[in-house]
Amino acid sequence: MTTKPSGTVAGSEPATARRWRSRRRPSASRKLRRAGWLMVAPALGHSILWIAIPVLATLVLSFTDYRVISAPRWVGLDNYIEIWNDAVFRKATWNTIVYTFFTVPVSMAVAVVIAVLLNQRIVGRTLYRAAFFLPHVTATVAIAMVWLWMYNPQYGLLNGLLSIVGLPGQVWLGNPDWALWSVIIVGIWQGIGIKMLIYLAALQNIDPNLYEAASIDGASKIQQFFSVTLPMLKPATFFVFVVSIIGAFQVFDQIYVLTDGGPANATTMMTYEVYRSAFQNFRMGMACAQSVVLFAFLIVLTVVNRRLTGGDDT
Amino acid sequence: MTSWTRRGAAALLAAATTSLVLAACGDDSETSSENGSGDGQVSGELTVLTPIFEGAEGKALLEEELLPQFYEQYPDVTVTVDYTDYGSLNEKLTTAVASGLVPDVMMMGVGWIEAFAENGILADLGELGITVDDLSEDFTPEILAGGVWQDDLYAIPIMLDTRFGIARKDLLAEAGFDEPPSSLEELREYAIALTERDSGGQLQRAGFDMLSMDLRQMYEVFLFAHGGSLFSEDFTEPTFNSPEGVAALQYLVDLMHEDRVEDIGFSSTDIDVHPLLNDRAAMAVGHNNLWIQLQEAAPELADQLVPFTITGSEPGMFFGGTLATVSAGSDHPEAAAALVEFLTGPEAALGANEQRGNVPARTELLDSEYVQNNPLVQFAMENLEIAQREGGVPQWLEIRGDFTPAIEAALLGEKTPQQALDDLAGEAREAMAR
């Protein structure tokens, strides 16, 4: 038998009375727990309704032949086998990897340089920041229309510039050798703004004393950039890298407007194939399976990236 | 009562409340409208999904001119219109079917009916009192067949989109040709003669423009002209990779690469002004609605455009179009059928065709003022007996999406015509086997 600090003897109170009291007067921790559940309920409900259930439904439907206009039919791994053997989806996967491989590092490198420049006290700094951020907040369809004009073989700006220096014009979006690179350039240009903004915020959190100390030690501005700025931007870089890869793998609207995946599937991407399966071919089951493959790619890339950066994102 | 019992009761109460709220928010058509007044007059609230009647002009035509006439006939019917375009029609229909909110009346294209009828989305119009026999005097058999699946009528045509050859008479005359080409050999000869390049080899004028038209539909014109077909007569096997189909694609590849009558990238389906209207092409595979663009962009060329059939072993002409259907799940099938009959009737169909520059599906409209004043539409109507459609199998919507990349691959030299069409036929067979 143990004695409580208050002097009551444990076990002397009838069990029913204890239960009744606990129901009538919730303890502070239980109240706190209830309040906590109440607080997270909207977010939890949202997550279950709009994330967990659709993800689960996508996974289940990926094992079916679901045409929307007819009931789903269980086909096991058939969709995945078809994806494995599908030359067009393989091409889309390769295109997506190439697109990501070039747009993400290039736009990150450009963004960090611009962020460092715009972190200096220069005239019109706010204007420049807004200008670089503008492509991110402009509708991709509008951006793509402008680029369509720039890439136009007859009237476009690019061929106009080439003709000034005596070079032959190109069919930028109609030639399979150029089309993907043309799309990549748009992707790089459009992605700089948001990355620059994140880097700018991170730069402003770097302790000025670090630069002062480096300067006293005789470090040049370039040495300071590589020895102070870049290491201190590591958490931001991890975040930008992961988000950019996910964003690049989800590229869709500029393909939809600029090329429709052509010519001859030269610019088709994984997301565009998902769209084609779902809304052009009415094969929702296949589209779900392709989405699962895309999801798996992103998970693997994120884990690899985390390992490569030492798992330190704080 | 234990805490679990209380929780269970609370959950039950919450579920009941939710059900009541959802029921209150749900479709009230069952209670708010009737399926017919019982005196032969139909009634109900109808929803319509349409890719035609687009833009402010189309909307005004439908809602301010046509529907008021329908309401005069059927005062107890109300119509809510959902406008879209053919580019978004797939998405609209897919989401409508998936959500169970299928519009009562849907307009869709030639080649679409088979899939939707096969899967029970469309109502058999015969059960609503409209049969093929009733319409056989108003439409040619091939056009009416676009709305038939397994001998039952599921859709009635409103308008046709036809593709055929169009030439610039003035440019032909400059090159010494009095008439448009009458054979594939002549077409090649004329196209070569009419092609113009600058001293640097840059194409200035395509002798024959193939790229302003959707590549699948452009190819189909040549497939039909070579005596080929998309599928076997019983629609069990793709036949576009037959020798005729391969010859058709080889002909196009040769025009592009050997004869160099047009360069890749010279034109596209996104162009604002068709190359025939700004002297950038002398001949082309064109659409009948080019006449509307001509009236806006180059009315001075009205006497210079001349249509012609692209003729190989037989004349080749392609037609697509828009048909009206009734949903099998409509709460008001009689009212929906009445609306379909009205919209496909002579007066409404004529207005819709005039607004889009299209070809009326009803043969009686050949004599209308609109058709007689539009040379391209008139040409199409006078040659409807040679026009062939696409589709025929329920998987067509899936198969057709693979056509353009296959044609592109051949035109770009990435695959031979035989390889491109064989690969495409393989994909078609897989789709048809699923």
**pLDDT tens sequence across B237-246:** 999 999 999 9
Nearest to A69 among B121, B263, B408 (CB): B121
With respect to residue A127, please indicate whether it lies within any of the assigned structural domains: yes
The tokens for B389 are 């459609």
* Residue A276 lies inside a defined structural domain of this protein: yes
Residue B11 belongs to some domain of the structure? no
Higher pLDDT pick, B199 / A108: A108
CA nearest to A68 within chain B: B98
Mean residue pLDDT of chain B comes to 88
Please give the pLDDT value at position B37.
37
- B26-50 pLDDT, tens digit per residue, is 343 333 333 333 344 788 999 999 9
Does the distance separating the beta carbons of A176 and B405 come in below 8 Å? no
Which single residue is written with the structure tokens 């289940």? A60
> What's the pLDDT at A166?
83
Q: Please tell me the predicted confidence (pLDDT) of residue B355.
A: 92
Residues with Cβ within 8 Å of residue B383, at least 6 apart in sequence:
B164, B309, B315, B317
Interchain contact A264–B (C-beta under 8 A): yes
Q: Give, rounded to a whole angstrom, the gap between the first and last alpha carbons of chain A.
A: 49
Question: CATH no. for residue A87?
Answer: 1.10.3720.10
Please report whether residue B64 resides in a domain.
Answer: yes
C-beta separation of B321 from B381 below 8 A: no
* B222 CB within 8 Å of a chain A CB: no
Q: Any residues with CB less than 8 A from the CB of A90 and at least 6 apart, and which?
A: none
Q: Which residues form the domain of A117?
A: 78-308
Per DSSP bridges, beta strands B315-326 and B310-311 are antiparallel
pLDDT at residue A169, rounded to an integer = 81
Looking at the fold, whether B187 and B77 belong to one and the same domain comes out as no
Residues of B (109-168) whose Cβ lies below 8 Å from A: 115-116, 119-121
Written in H, E and C, the secondary structure of A249-263 is HCCCHHHHHHCCCCC
- Look at residue B90 and tell me if it is in a domain: yes
Q: What does the pLDDT read at residue B21?
A: 39
Q: Are residues B284 and B423 in the same domain?
A: yes
In this prediction, residue B409 carries a pLDDT of: 93
pLDDT for res B10: 44
Assess if residue A68 is contained within a domain: no
Q: Does the beta carbon of B20 lie under 8 angstroms from any beta carbon of chain A?
A: no
Band (pLDDT 50/70/90 cuts) for residue A26 is low
Considering the domain architecture, whether residues B246 and B132 belong to the same structural domain is answered as no
Judged by a CB distance cut-off of 8 A, whether residue A282 touches chain B is yes
- The band of B225, judged by pLDDT with boundaries at 50, 70 and 90, is very high
Chain A CB within 8 Å of residue B401 CB: yes
Is residue B406 one of the residues assigned to a domain?
yes
Read off the DSSP letter of residue B213: S
Interface probe for B, chosen from A30, A66, A68 (most Cβ of B below 10 Å), is A68
Number of Cβ within a 10 Å radius of residue B158? 25
Instruction: Kindly determine whether residue B264 and residue A175, on different chains, have CB atoms separated by under 8 Å.
Output: yes
Q: Evaluate if residue B276 carries a pLDDT over 90.
A: yes
Q: What is the C-alpha to C-alpha distance for residues B225 and B186, in angstroms, rounded to an integer?
A: 14
Long-range contacts of B30-35, Cβ-Cβ distance < 8 Å, separation of 24 or more: B30/B331, B33/B331, B33/B332, B35/B331, B35/B332, B35/B334
Task: Note whether residue A156 is domain-resident.
Answer: yes
Residue whose entry in the numeric block shows the structure tokens 């009733």: B134
Percent of chain A with pLDDT over 90: 51
Residue A112: pLDDT band with limits 50, 70, 90:
very high
Task: State the smallest CA–CA distance between residue A281 and chain B in angstroms.
Answer: 4
Residues of A in contact with B102 (CB under 8 A): none
The predicted pLDDT at position A287 comes to 95
* B265 and B408 assigned to the same domain: yes
- CB of A23 within 8 Å of a chain B CB? The answer is yes
Nearest CA in chain B to A176: B412
The answer to whether position A23 is within a domain reads: no
How many domains does chain A fold into? Answer: 1
pLDDT tens for each residue of B245-255: 999 999 999 99
Give me the pLDDT at residue A163, please: 87
Residues of chain A found within 8 Å of residue B120, distances taken between Cβ atoms: 70
In a domain, B35, yes or no: no
> Is B155:B147 a contact under the CB 8 Å cutoff?
yes
Contact A23 B3 (CB under 8 A): yes
Q: Cα B192 to chain center, whole Å?
A: 32
Question: Could you report the per-residue pLDDT of B315-374, keeping only the tens digit for each?
Answer: 999 999 999 999 999 999 999 999 999 999 999 999 999 999 999 999 999 899 999 999
Over 80: is that where the pLDDT of B1 sits?
Answer: no
Contact residues, chain A, for B115 at CB < 8 Å: 69, 282
pLDDT tier, A19 (very low <50, low <70, confident <90, very high otherwise): low
Tell me the count of A-B CB pairs closer than 8 A.
67
Confidence (pLDDT) at A288? 96
Domain total of chain B: 2
Q: Is the ipTM of this complex over 0.85?
A: no
- Dihedral of alpha carbons B224, B228, B230, B236, sign: positive
pLDDT tens per residue, range B90-131: 888 888 888 888 999 999 999 999 989 988 899 999 999 999
At B352, which CATH number? Answer: 3.40.190.10
Residue B207 lies in a domain: yes
From chain B, the residues in CB contact with A81 under 8 A are none
CA distance B84 to chain A (A): 15
Q: Does residue A95 lie within any of the structural domains?
A: yes
Q: Are B83 and B228 in a shared domain?
A: no
Query: Could you tell me how many helices (H) and strands (E) chain A has, helices first?
Result: 16, 2
Strand partners, B105: B48, B326
Q: What mean pLDDT do residues A36-64 have?
A: 94
Whether residue B309 is found in the same domain as residue B223 = yes
CB atoms within 10 A of CB A55: 13
B236 and B338 assigned to the same domain: no
How confident is the model over B137-158, as pLDDT tens digits?
A: 899 888 999 999 999 999 999 9
Residue for token pair 């102070």: A228
CA-based nearest distance A270→chain B, Å: 16
Handedness of CA B80, B82, B83, B86 (dihedral sign): negative
Of A171, A174, A282, nearest to B397 by CB-CB distance is A282
Helix (H) or strand (E) holding B148: strand B148-149
A174 near B CB under 8 A: yes
Q: Are residues B412 and B383 in the same domain?
A: no
Q: Is B387 exposed, middle or buried (0-12, 13-18, 19+ CB in 10 A)?
A: buried
Indicate whether B105 and B151 sit together in one domain. yes
Q: What pLDDT is attached to residue B42?
A: 87
pLDDT value at position A22?
A: 55
A64: left (phi over 0), alpha (psi -120 to 50) or beta: beta
Which residues does B431 contact at the CB level (< 8 Å), separation at least 6? Answer: B395, B398, B399
Check CB contact under 8 Å for B90 and A283. Answer: no
**What is the tens place of the pLDDT at every residue in A201-211?**
999 989 999 99
- Give yes or no for a cis peptide into B315 (omega within 30° of 0): no
Q: Report the residue from B90, B91, B434 with minimal CB separation from A65.
A: B434
Residue-level pLDDT at B269: 86
Helix or strand (DSSP H, E) at B204: strand B203-205
List the single residue in A with minimal CA-CA distance to B280. Answer: A154
Select from A68, A169, A171 the Cβ nearest to the Cβ of B94: A68
Whether the per-residue pLDDT at A103 is higher than 80: the answer is yes
Query: What's the pLDDT at B164?
Result: 97
Are the Cβ atoms of B264 and A174 closer than 8 angstroms?
Answer: yes
Q: Which of A282, A283, A286 is the best substitution to test chain B (most B C-beta atoms within 10 A)? A: A282
- The helix-helix angle for A53-61 and A284-308 (nearest 10°) equals 120
What is the residue range of B366's domain?
A: 41-161+320-388
- Quick one: pLDDT band at residue A16, thresholds 50, 70, 90? low
**pLDDT score for B316:** 95
CB contact under 8 A, B91 and A279: yes
Whether A205 is covered by a domain: the verdict is yes
Does residue A135 lie in a domain region? Answer: yes
Same domain assignment for residues B45 and B145:
yes
Same-domain status, B197 and B55: no
Length of chain A: 314
Instruction: Specify whether B172 is located in the same domain as B157.
Output: no
* CB nearest to A153's CB, from B265, B398, B404: B265
Contact (CB, 8 A) for B400 and B111: yes
Mutate to test the interface with B, among A279, A284, A286 (most CBs of B within 10 A): A279
Residue B22 pLDDT: 40
